[in-house]
Amino acid sequence: MTDSRVLAIIPARGGSKGLRRKNLCPIAGKPMVAYSIEAANHCSLVTRTMVTTDDEEIADVARDYGADVPFMRPQELATDLTPTEPVLQHALAYVETEEREQVDVVLFLQPTDIFRRDGILNKVIQPLLDNPALDTCFPGFPTHKNYWRKGKDGVWFKLADDIAYGPRQTREHLYREDTGIACASRSHVIRAGRRVGDRVEVVAYPELATFIDVEDDFTLWLAEKAVSEWEFPVNE
């Protein structure tokens, strides 16, 4: 699949409750949505970067930073309760139906997750180009922590209970799904209204800053500190 078309889609609506106008909030002097646009534009495997938004100001900023905004997202797909999947599905349908452009792989980037480096976008796209059996590839944060869940019967149980207790250095890792950092899926997965297909590969991405998902004043402050003072090399 050397000539595959890879479409990066960045959903960035105008409304938000936890942090007003969050997608335009400045982080180290740059609007937050710009970080995802620049990450996609710097990725050698991405052939087009698109922002789907219902907001004219976000659309203008997105274009200024080099993204395509070929349509304004319908209001019914821009509510507080709208899942990501139909937004991606709508954007892909526009490209394939209205523009008649072939898309092989869709790369989803969440604008509130800005801490991408070590070529992580290429690392999640390349496995799909190399292995036609794969549906989806995304980063996973390796953790040795234990996770528990309460069952329907009210009894708590440990997830992955086959992983025994022991020193951190000797324990098998669990992997936290970080599809907001990057999620590459074949177009048929997105057309079906899904984000992740059945055949998945997880790329270990042990970057501590990925826990900063900018959704409120505190995480915005953390992101600002990480970029401006810690000098986190985003989009490296």
Secondary structure (DSSP) of 48-64: EEEEEBS-HHHHHHHHH
Question: Could you give the C-alpha distances from 177 to 90, 186, 204, in angstroms and in order?
Answer: 23, 18, 10
Q: Are 158 and 147 in contact (CB under 8 A)?
A: yes
Tokens of 2: 């050397």
Asked if the structure places residue 32 within a domain, the reply is yes
The per-residue pLDDT for 164 is 65
Kindly give, in sequence order, each residue whose CB lies less than 8 Å from that of residue 66, ignoring residues fewer than 6 positions away: 37, 38, 41, 49
pTM for this entry: 0.91
* pLDDT for 78 beyond 60: yes
Residue 24 lies in a domain: yes
CATH number for position 125: 3.90.550.10
Domain ranges, residue 214: 6-140+177-228
What's the pLDDT at 35?
A: 96
Q: What is the pLDDT of residues 47-58, one digit of tens each?
A: 999 999 999 999
Asked if residue 157 belongs to a domain, the reply is no
Q: What angle do CA 70, 71, 75 make, to 5 degrees?
A: 160
Which residues on neighbouring strands pair with residue 26, listed in sequence order? 31
Look at the chain and report how many structural domains it folds into. Answer: 1
Give 102-139 pLDDT, tens digit per residue: 999 999 999 999 999 889 999 999 999 999 999 999 99
Residue labelled with tokens 């599905």: 89
